[in-house]
Amino acid sequence: MAAIMRTLATVLVLAAVGAVAWLAMPRANPAPVPGVLFGRVELRQLDLAFNEAGTVRAMALHPGDSVHAGALVAELDDSTYVNAQALAVAQRDAAQAKLDLLLAGTRPEEIARARANVANVQATVSRAEATFSRQEDLFNRKVASQQAYDDALMTRDSARAALAQYQAALAELIAGPLPLEVATARAELRAAEASVRLAEVQLGHDKLFAPVDGVVMARATEPGTAVRPGAAVYSMAISGEVWVQAFAPEAMLGRIAPDTEVPISDNAGHAWRGRIGTVFPVVEFSSTAADQPAQPVYRLRIRVENPDATLRQGMPVTITLSPKSA
């Protein structure tokens, strides 16, 4: 009896093993299921970086923290940019003062002083000319020496040159600045104002804000580190819209028209509603086994209309196509 029971038990065990093996065989080499596509939730990540170089002063977030769009997440030491802005403002004010001075014209006091200088030099010219006339007469009568004549001539010519110089200065003061001088001053002011705006923009870049809602995946640096423009400070997964990417064989093209609603599910039994957004027009090739030829497939993106916390980036999902959408 015991031998019979042992034999029966052995038969039952072998039968159970055979049944499990039989069930496992189609899963080991699954055949394509008509109307079913396998896709993956798209990874939507970005790196947050400063637009300017500097030393990181503060970082507010850690991996796993949720962040909302517009939140301050990191800061640079702004002392360099504050000083650069102050310098740019001072240069702008100096350029403005220079332009205002030109536009105001010459003060009456300066013109009066220039007129007095001209009158004084004119008197000097008159004395020099009188002295030269006397020396010329004496020289012609062989009474004065050549040296005395030459000295009188040089004094007269020097006085005349000085008079011309003072008269030109007076005319310049009366005429005021040249149009070209005013245009140059205006251009210098515009350049200084642009420098101020640039300094303000650079100063604003000392703070890093989250551009979208998301979850921090990693910190790429720490406070006290000198960073270059564009160097990642955080890695962040983007929240919000969820998209699934899948590939469909050519035979299913008629069933994956844009705006078609399709059910999406995962291996744990969760389900979502999806809507096909884009079917890419370029063919790609995919093979399920190394010994099989590659088959033409088309990439499609599906927007999940009711995502929840169980739907995570990168996870595999199943898309079921309705035969009525053909």
The total of structural domains in the chain comes to: 3
Same domain, 157 and 298: no
Same domain, 155 and 103: yes
pLDDT at 4: 32
Residue 11 lies in a domain: no
Question: Which pLDDT score, from 0 to 100, does residue 234 have?
Answer: 96
CA-based diameter of the chain, in Å? 173
Provide CB contacts within 8 A for 280, sequence distance 6+.
298, 299, 300
Same domain for 228 and 276: no
Residue 20 reports pLDDT greater than 80: no
Are residues 35 and 50 both part of a single domain?
no
Flag whether 247 is in a domain.
yes
pLDDT, position 170: 81
Is the same domain home to 249 and 219?
no
In a domain, 20, yes or no: no
Residue 70 and residue 170 in one domain: no
Q: Could you tell me which residue, 10 or 222, shows the higher pLDDT?
A: 222
Say yes or no to pLDDT of 200 above 90.
yes
Domain membership of residue 129 as a residue range: 84-201
The pLDDT score that the predictor gives to residue 33 is 58
Lowest mean pLDDT among 171-175, 198-202, 217-221, 229-233: 171-175
- Which tokens sit at 34? 């008509």
Q: Identify whether 9 is part of a domain.
A: no
Mean of pLDDT values over 151-174: 89
Within a domain: residue 170? yes
pLDDT for residue 155 is more than 60: yes
Q: Could you tell me if residue 21 is inside a domain?
A: no
Q: Give 9's pLDDT tier (boundaries 50, 70, 90).
A: very low
CATH number reported for the structural domain that contains residue 306 in this entry: 2.40.30.170
What average pLDDT score do residues 140-147 get? 88
Question: For residue 260, which of 268, 251, 252 has the smallest C-alpha distance?
Answer: 252
Res. 8: pLDDT tops 80: no
Contacts of 273-282 spanning 24+ positions with Cβ under 8 A: 273/304, 273/305, 273/306, 274/244, 274/302, 274/303, 274/304, 274/305, 274/319, 275/302, 275/303, 275/305, 276/300, 276/301, 276/302, 277/243, 277/301, 277/302, 277/303, 279/248, 279/253
pTM exceeding the 0.75 threshold for the entire prediction: no
- Regarding whether 284 and 194 lie in a shared domain, the answer is no
pLDDT, residue 131, reads 92
229 with 253, same domain? no
- Given CA atoms 45, 51, 54, 55 in this order, what sign does their dihedral have? negative
Calculate the average pLDDT of the chain.
Answer: 85
In a domain, 36, yes or no: yes
pLDDT of residue 324: 52
CATH number for the domain including 224? Answer: 2.40.50.100
Tell which residue, 20, 58, 25, 66, has the closest CA to residue 215: 66
Which stretch of 33-47, 181-195, 264-278 has the lowest confidence by average pLDDT? Answer: 33-47
Stronger pLDDT, 22 or 90, i.e. the higher one: 90
Q: Is residue 297 part of a domain?
A: yes
Domain identity same for 51 and 121: no
Provide the pLDDT confidence category of residue 172 given band limits of 50, 70 and 90. confident
What is the C-alpha separation between 25 and 10, in angstroms, rounded? 23
The two three-digit tokens of residue 244, written as one number: 């699934």
Contact criterion met (CB below 8 Å) for 75 and 58: yes
pLDDT given for residue 144 in this prediction: 84
**Mean pLDDT, residues 243-270:** 92
Sheet of strand 214-219: strand arrangement = 45-49, 232-238, 214-219, 66-67
Q: Is there a single domain that holds both residue 112 and residue 252?
A: no
Q: Do residues 231 and 283 both lie within one domain?
A: no
pLDDT band (50, 70, 90) for residue 184: very high
Question: Are residues 233 and 243 located together in one domain of the fold?
Answer: no
